Amino acid sequence: MVKENCGVVGIFSLSGTNVVPMVIDALRALQHRGQEAWGLAIPNKPPLKRLGLVSGSSSEFKKITEEYSSPAVIGHVRYSTMGRSSLENAQPLKVKDLCIAHNGTIANVQELSNLVGGCSFTPQNASDTLVAAQRLVTLISENGQMGKALSILKNEMVGSYCFTFISDDNSVYAARDPKGFRPMVLGYKESDDTYIVASESSAVSAVGAKLQRNVNPGELIKLSKNGLETERFSDDLTRAHCSFEFTYFAHPSSNMEGTNIYVARKNIGRFLAKKFPINDADLVIPVPDSARPAALGYAQELGVSFDEGLLKDRYSKKGPLRSFIEPHQSDRIEINRWIIPIKEIIEGKHVVVIDDSLVRGTSSKAIIKALRRAGARKISMVITYPPIKFPCYAGIDFPSREELATFSDGKEMSEIEITEMVRQSIGADFLGYNDAENLAAAVGIPKDSMCFTCSSGNYESLGITPEFRSREEMKGE
């Protein structure tokens, strides 16, 4: 419930190929989903886990590939969940003869921990994944089957989850929660007769496999020597696909719920230009990198020139990382220093800056200051995502309300007042936020099949009434 959006992979080769090199490539393709730790697991061995980026362990790849050689593997990239950032909390986790990797957040983890005796759950080592795994293993031993166990667990567990599992009998499983909060896809590589399940299709492409389809919400897939088997553990037909995946998290090359992310983002920009036609603009610039397609769509729709007015210093220590998923505020400020304005492009112009989201406002404030220093005459900022006003309990990092730029300390404020408050705080001449209807229309998914809880405060799709607590309370520090 604190900071999470991870990536999971499960691979099984019917031809007996060692798929460990493949899982490493797939995890590198999911690196944007988590940069804090990574790991993999094969049957009958403790999981391998490492802190930092996958490529940070490249000197070990050969040794890992030989030592963990297996036709069945699961993998995980992590961006800190509940509990502290440590190797102990990295995944996959092993409980009895089952290893588990998880993308999402279990919102009622305290209740669930009571069902497993409560013993594993301390704030210092609080992993919702571990609690879910312990409960699942108990249910499997009582019911004999993964599908039956999941159909019981889904009624006990509230939250978002994409799981990959590996069992000591050489089977790989993948399960996606009934609402489809987090993404999951299935791919197949003909040359090795290999199936891959992953959080995003970018990982499927990275290993030379072909995207087959989405894993359906409420579906359990089993990959074993019998090939691919599938069953449903939930009949829930209501969907709540995370809208933030479409504007920020997913890789632009990925296809999600049948939509290409790059095309969707460009379309979001077009729809934003219709909502905010800033006709006296001289220039449209993106905040690098994820806002680029939206800025291009916006500029094309408006007929205003598009340019790169801000560049990331790729050679700085943290240049290519994403400030939103950095664990510490000081790191986020550090990253913003590496976004450099190009004076010759900006000077004397009315610049429209397109950004994918405005969470804390730290980045926006720093960017606007930098643009002013570079001589921008006027700065309008347009955000592809609606105002984020509430914590996410389905797996994204904005859990405490007082950290959000929209936080008004208990005062009832209209949308217009909130926008004006944030505009003043970041120092823009104009600020425009997208709205849920406009975003859903641009992506081409019905609004009621998407999750906008962080903007609306309606937690019905999760089935919870949250207590809003500060990050310190939640981290147990």
E strands along 2-81, which residues? Answer: 7-13, 37-41, 48-51, 72-78
Please, which residues bridge with residue 74 across strands? 10, 41
- Report cis status (omega within 30 of 0) of the bond before 409: no
Angstrom CA distances, 441 to 175, 368, 447, 448, stand at 28, 29, 8, 11
* Residues in binding site for Mg(2+): 290, 355-356
Q: What token pair was written down for 231?
A: 């069953």
Q: What token pair was written down for 392?
A: 């996410």
d(CA 368, CA 215): 41
The residue type at 471:
R
**Neighbour-count burial of 430, counting CB atoms closer than 10 A to its CB (0-12 exposed, 13-18 middle, 19+ buried):** middle
d(CA 126, CA 477): 12
The residue type at 426:
I
For every residue of 424-473, DSSP letters joined together read: HHHT-SEEEE--HHHHHHHHTS-GGGEE-HHHH---TTTT--PPP--HHH
Q: Which residues contact 131 (CB under 8 A, 6 or more apart)?
A: 106, 109, 112, 113, 116, 120, 121
Q: Which residues contact 320 (CB under 8 A, 6 or more apart)?
A: 312, 314
d(CA 5, CA 452): 16
E strands along 42-116, which residues? Answer: 48-51, 72-78, 93-95, 98-106
* Residues in binding site: 242, 290, 355-356, 392, 451, 454
For every residue of 374-417, DSSP letters joined together read: TT-SEEEEEESS----S--SSS-S---GGGSTT--TT----HHH
d(CA 195, CA 86): 31
Q: Tell how far CA 244 is from the center of its chain.
A: 8
d(CA 240, CA 461): 7
Q: What token pair was written down for 280?
A: 């006296």
Does 119 participate in catalysis according to the annotation? no
* Residues in binding site for [4Fe-4S] cluster: 242, 392, 451, 454
d(CA 243, CA 392): 12
Q: Are 74 and 41 in contact (CB under 8 A)?
A: yes
Active site residues: 6
